[in-house]
Amino acid sequence: MNVGTSDRGGVRILTLENPPVNALSFALCAQLLPLVEAASADERIKGVVFTGASGIFSGGADVNDFSTEPTPETKTIRDVIDAIERSEKIFAAAIDTNALGGAFELALACDYRIGTPRARLSFPEIQLGLLPGAGGTQRLPRLVDVQEALQIMLKATRLTAEEALAKGILDRVGDDAVETAIAVIGDGRKRRLSERKAILPKGVVPQALPFIVSQAHKMVPPEGKGGYAAHKLVDAVEAAVTLSFKHGLAREFRLFDELVRSKPSMALRHVFFAERALSKIPGLAGAHATNVAQAAVIGGGTMGTGIAICFADAGIAVTVVEPVDEQVERAKQTIFGMYAHQVQRGRLTQEEAWTRGRSVRFTDDYGELKECDLVVEAVFESMDVKKDVFAKLDAVVKPGGLLASNTSTLDIDEIATATKRPAQVLGMHFFAPANIMKLLEIVRGKATSTDALATAFAVGKKMRKVAVLSGNAFGFIGNRMLFDYAREAVFLAEEGVPPYRVDAAMKAFGFPMGPFAMFDLSGVDVSWHIARARPDVMTGRTKIVDRLYEMKRLGQKTGAGYYRYDKSKGGGREPIRDASVEALFAQEAERAGVAQRSNVSDDEIVQRCVYALINQGAALLEQGIALRPGDEDIVYVYGYGFPPHDGGPMWYADEVGVKSVYDAILHFRETLGAHWQPARLLEEIARSGGTFAAYEAKEPAHA
């Protein structure tokens, strides 16, 4: 870590050097501040250019510093910017690639901002439950109007050099930003944004500001539902208009300091760090990842087509094996329709879309896969069918080629017995729709080699997936935890709580949909098949799933499941309460002798569903199926819609107190039945007064 210095023609160049992203850490700022002050005091220097080493301006603040309590001696980017404000010199930012967060604020504090065509500017703080805290909320509305500034910050918009130039955020764009910045300083003068007034949108008078602010507050989620930082951001931008620059800055600093200590921000920062820890897998450091140049997908259904798109988007040629002509045509229409849509939205050029679409080819001949580096099977969820596919693949795919299953529940080790290469067999569980959902569970069998795992993780990274390692357990991490969540939802309905009430409570908690709407989306037949395979993990006390299956109420695809669906309304996707299903639950409960309850609160609904997730998560940790609590949180935030401002189920357990969760489970065991058995690890942490955040895996996730 260092700040390089050099002089050229009366201009001092300060080069940020803090690999890998030149983060503006407290330590770097402690070096940078005296250099800014020295340049300001040097009569030979007319101006200062900030640039970054290794072709990167700066990725912004070091997120680790947000959890550090500053001391009077601590120097931050605020101190550096304050020194710029006091200086009589001219300052310019020479931006190549990223200027994010605090780095964008540093650039805004300068008199001039010069970018290369690769420059990208963004305020991503909202994604960590924060707002720009070094003057960004005060300076940006003095460069673009307050409404546009607010949208840039609320949406964490990543501005290209071209967009930033058009908005006046960048002054110039050239191939050599440093040389251009030096020239601008030679001809330029001081022009600090702090000396300007905030810009109101065209045609808006000052008297209308309260209305604009009120509308902005209405457009973001409630504070308790993930919108805490967004509301504070609106308040900070309002201050840019209503207060002097000095007082607006003080207001921003106070709001930032409130947010950095808030539970939502701490949870979101946990997710940030948990995602970056995913690749830290014991024993994988020396593994060799095979370059995957050719891939294949077995099955051209919805999931197989989505996986093929993932390969195409990653620049990997892919062959889809699908014997049914009608299915091939549907898959082709899906692929080219999706790419056409991306062209219309401006996300791809016509040439890029054509290249990606043409990189997916179809065949019905397994023999064409002999040179594939990786094959992903995505056929019907049946062990016999999958083993037959793997036996065929083993016979034709070249030695060294990896064979992966997209199974969501089945035993990877048993699948591997159909081959003579168990070390090269693993699970790659995509989440539907595969080309949209970011989560990818990579499942290690007992014989899976570290090289195979390294290759799968490398492919996941190319696909821009969030890849999580799982051991080989029925349902792996996500679905195995989900089965307990689903069990409690069904048990509640059996006890007389209507499905719509269960769903409403879980949506109010923060899930995008409730469990019964989720069952209907995935298909009641899916639940039925899983219950046949493993009644020990997926069953209620009644025959409700059997009854719905017999009645062909399979969910959205048949227009009826736990809810009704009207195709004339919302495309047939909006669940409509169905009293006949509630009556069916009551009939089945009476047959099974399940007592009806009239006093179930929303709090109990949430606790039973969420605490079931937590308890099973603890069990998977003690079994070594999951490596870290944070891995389980990532699975649930990215794969199942757990509210990120609550950090995932295991972080949430720490928030409410592991002891409180444990005591509630003991109460449920006493009042609801022996299936509420606390996991040993949950009990250990509760009795010790510890947290899941402090838990360390004793060994890697295994089969």
Summarize pLDDT for 147-160 with one digit per residue, the tens.
Answer: 999 999 999 999 99
Out of 280-289, 291-300, 691-700, pick the least confident: 691-700
pLDDT digits (tens, 9 = 90+) for 57-104: 999 999 999 988 889 899 999 999 999 999 999 999 999 999 999 999
Nearest CA to 470 out of 259, 703, 639 is that of 703
pLDDT at 421 over 80: yes
Indicate where the chain has its CATH 3.40.50.720 domain(s): 294-472
The proportion of the chain whose per-residue pLDDT surpasses 90, expressed as a percent, equals 90
What is the fold of 294-472?
Rossmann fold (3.40.50)
Helix (H) or strand (E) holding 683: helix 680-688
Q: CA 315, CA 352: separation in Å to the nearest integer?
A: 10
CATH number of 2-260: 3.90.226.10
**pLDDT (0 to 100) of residue 699:** 53
258 is catalytic: no
* Contact between residue 120 and residue 161 where contact means Cβ atoms under 8 Å apart: yes
At residue 696, the pLDDT reads 77
pLDDT at 538: 65
Q: What is the pLDDT of residues 160-195, one digit of tens each?
A: 999 999 999 999 999 999 999 999 999 989 999 999
Tell me the two tokens of residue 124: 């991503």
Range 336-344 average pLDDT: 94
State the average pLDDT over residues 650-672.
97
- Report the distance separating Cα 409 and Cα 472, nearest Å: 9
Q: Which residues pair with 425 in a beta bridge?
A: 403
Residue of 17, 43, 73, 125 marked active site:
125
Q: What is the per-residue DSSP string for 229-259?
A: HHHHHHHHHHHHHHS-HHHHHHHHHHHHHHH
DSSP bridge partners of 142? none
H or E, element range at 99: strand 98-100
> Does the structure show a pLDDT above 90 at 629?
yes
SS (H, E, C) 425-443: EEEEEECCCCCCCCEEEEE
Cβ–Cβ under 8 Å, residues 100 and 134: no
Selected catalytic residue, list 37, 85, 105, 381: 105
Phi, psi torsion values for 172, nearest 5 degrees: -150, 160
Which pLDDT value is given to residue 128? 97
Confidence of residue 524 (pLDDT cuts 50, 70, 90): very high
Q: Write down the pLDDT at residue 698.
A: 55
Question: Cα separation of 527 and 652, whole Å?
Answer: 27
Round to whole Å and give the CA distance between 64 and 67: 6
Residue pair 411/383 in contact by the 8 Å Cβ criterion? yes
Tokens 């799933």, located at residue: 545
pLDDT tens string 101-156? 999 999 999 999 999 999 999 999 999 999 999 999 999 999 999 999 999 999 99
190 touches 88 (CB < 8 A): yes
Q: Is the dihedral of CA 506, 511, 512, 518 positive or negative?
A: negative
Question: Is 105 tagged catalytic?
Answer: yes
pLDDT at 658: 98
3 state SS of 597: coil
